[in-house]
Amino acid sequence: MSKQKRIGIYAGTFDPVHSGHIAFALQAVAAARLDKVYFIPERQPRGKSGVEHFGHRVAMLQRATQPHRNFGVLELVDVNFSVVRTLPKLEHQFTDARLVFLFGSDAVDSMPVWPNIERLLSSAELVIGLRDDHQEQALREYIAGWSLAPKALTVFTSYAPDVSSGRVREALYRRQPVRGLLRSVERYSNRNWLYVSVGY
């Protein structure tokens, strides 16, 4: 009997992808014993405006993940990640695999009020990367207070908790170096004149 594959799902804006995203996914592979991590860029992220074109964000993700054999990029038709729409499609695509969802700790506060969150928690595992000054014990206690616990929970401190896409965008606009900027992203951005029309 073959071992059930463990597939990581990492949805986000990735505007642009940076070393913190890559490091978090690599940590998740090791900590949660994942066979592969799929990055899913959202076409129209909730609560965000002025996001770079989806095609450019996908292209930068493809370049950033290419060196890692256990990474992939999925382009879904959904405008953003939704439990009711996206989860069934992923379950259909990865039949007989265990889905493990990757989140930064900054996303955890809002998760209890997500529509149909019980559907996600009852069937999937969560991997949480601690960002900024978030503490593991406090986060675990908060999740333990949810009405429904996730199937399994893995928590660890991110290697790059303070790297952000906002700082990377500003550095690209100013043509300055910054921690977290990937060379592949810098080359692609410069070649396609991204992040140059709006000041920060």
- Whole-number Å distance between alpha carbons of 61 and 36: 15
- Would you say residue 193 lies in a domain? no
The total domain count for the chain is: 1
- Whole-number Å distance between alpha carbons of 18 and 15: 9
Tokens of 2: 């073959």
* Domain enclosing residue 20, as ranges: 6-162
- Would you say residue 146 lies in a domain? yes
25-54 CB burial, b ≥16 within 10 A, e <16? bbbbbeebebebbbbbbbbebeeeeebbee
- Whole-number Å distance between alpha carbons of 192 and 91: 36
The pLDDT value recorded for residue 198 is: 57
Claim: this prediction has a pTM higher than 0.85:
yes
- Would you say residue 194 lies in a domain? no
- Would you say residue 178 lies in a domain? no
- Whole-number Å distance between alpha carbons of 103 and 11: 8
Residues of the chain predicted below pLDDT 70: 1-2, 198-200
- Would you say residue 73 lies in a domain? yes
- Would you say residue 107 lies in a domain? yes
The pLDDT value recorded for residue 1 is: 54
- Would you say residue 150 lies in a domain? yes
Q: What is the CATH number of the domain that holds 141?
A: 3.40.50.620
**Chain segment 27-55, per-residue pLDDT in tens:** 999 999 999 999 999 999 988 889 999 99
Cβ atoms of 200 and 173 closer than 8 Å:
yes
- Would you say residue 142 lies in a domain? yes
